Amino acid sequence: MERKGNWNGGFAVIRRSFSIYLGAFILILGVVSVWILSKDGIPEGAKYFQKTDDNGVILHVLQTKPSNISLNSINDNVVRSGTNGINGGFFWENHLLSIAVMDGMPANGVPKAYGSGWYNVKYARGTMVYDRVTRMVDVQRAASVEDLHLTDATKFWAQGGVSMNLKDESGWYNVAVTEEKLPFPDDKRLRSAMAYDNSGEIYLVVTSTKCTAEQFRTAIKRNVAVGNLNEAIFLDGDGSSQLLVGNVKLEGDDRTVVQMIGVKGEN
């Protein structure tokens, strides 16, 4: 009888302790869940915002530091990839036609291979480059990685597209269309771009409305990093214009793209 009483008392203590621990666990889980939901899945160190220009163009913008950018071969839709970011450069079938290189390695194959991301195929085109040594961002016209000006050929990323020339109102169209062969500039299509400001912040931009290249460029100038915007490049567009930022999903026409520009959280 003595031992039974002790056992019952011990069980009561255990039961009370379990209730306390369970309550604490539920409270912690609730706090963590609220924090996760409040982030809406947006990576640490990134910001998402939406702007509607006076010309009706709706911009979806993901802002982050260049050190958070990753250039990935996905061969899928950006939304299905599960990675925050937007579509990258031009492609044909499974061949990447725009430069997409990180630290000396192309996103879609091996260095100097056709379709790997080592070349802006056929044309020297606007390519955004981040130098990890100097921590500087700029846009360079290049046909291949060998044309880029780099401090260290193993410490950089480069994303090819078409020059937007934000500071050249009279000449930008000729460069983009005649020289760099921007596809369908005057058609109303979904558009994508990559821009940077004077502080080196990166802006990944996708429209959810169809527009011409000029309308898109104007909307970016008037709504992204106003007064501080430096330069930008057009990326692939139309059905390839895709974005995933937390709960925001733009699938384009649901097509598969070869490469995307991912945004990872800060360490």
User: Which of 9-13, 51-55, 113-117 shows the lowest mean pLDDT across its residues?
Assistant: 9-13
Residue 128 has pLDDT above 60, yes or no: yes
Residue 36: per-residue pLDDT: 39
- In this prediction, residue 20 carries a pLDDT of 52
8 band by pLDDT with thresholds 50, 70 and 90: low
The answer to whether 165 touches 175, Cβ cutoff 8 Å, is yes
Q: How far apart are CA 57 and CA 79, in angstroms?
A: 21
The tens digit of pLDDT for each residue in 37-96 reads 335 789 899 999 999 999 999 999 999 999 999 999 999 999 999 999 999 999 999 999
pLDDT of residue 6: 54
Section 187-209 average pLDDT: 98
More confident residue, 39 or 223: 223
Least confident of 37-51, 115-129, 226-240: 37-51
Average pLDDT over residues 223-251: 97
- pTM of the predicted model as reported, rounded to 2 decimal places: 0.85
Please, what is the average pLDDT of the chain?
90
Produce one character per residue of 165-178: b if its CB has 16 or more CB atoms within 10 Å, e if not: bbeeeeebbebbbe
Q: Render the chain in DSSP notation, one character per residue.
A: -HHHHHHHHHHHHHHHHHHHHHHHHHHHHHHHHHHHHHHTTPPTT-EEEEEE-TTS-EEEEEEE-GGGEEEEEEEE-HHHHT-SEEE-S-EETTEE-S-EEETTEETTSSTT-TTBTSB-SSS-EEEEEEETTTTEEEEEEESBGGGS--S-TTSEEEEE-EE--TT-TTTHHIIIIIIT--SSTTS-B--EEEEEETT--EEEEEESS-B-HHHHHHHHHHHSSTTTEEEEEE---GGG--EEETTEEE-TTS--EEEEEEEPPP-
Instruction: Give the Cβ contact number of residue 94 at 10 Å.
Output: 12
The answer on pLDDT for 2 being more than 70 is no
Residue 102 has pLDDT above 60, yes or no: yes
Assess contact for 222 and 54: CB atoms under 8 A: yes
Question: Would you kindly state where each structural domain of the chain is located, as residue ranges?
Answer: 1-39, 41-263
Percent of the chain residues topping a pLDDT of 90: 83
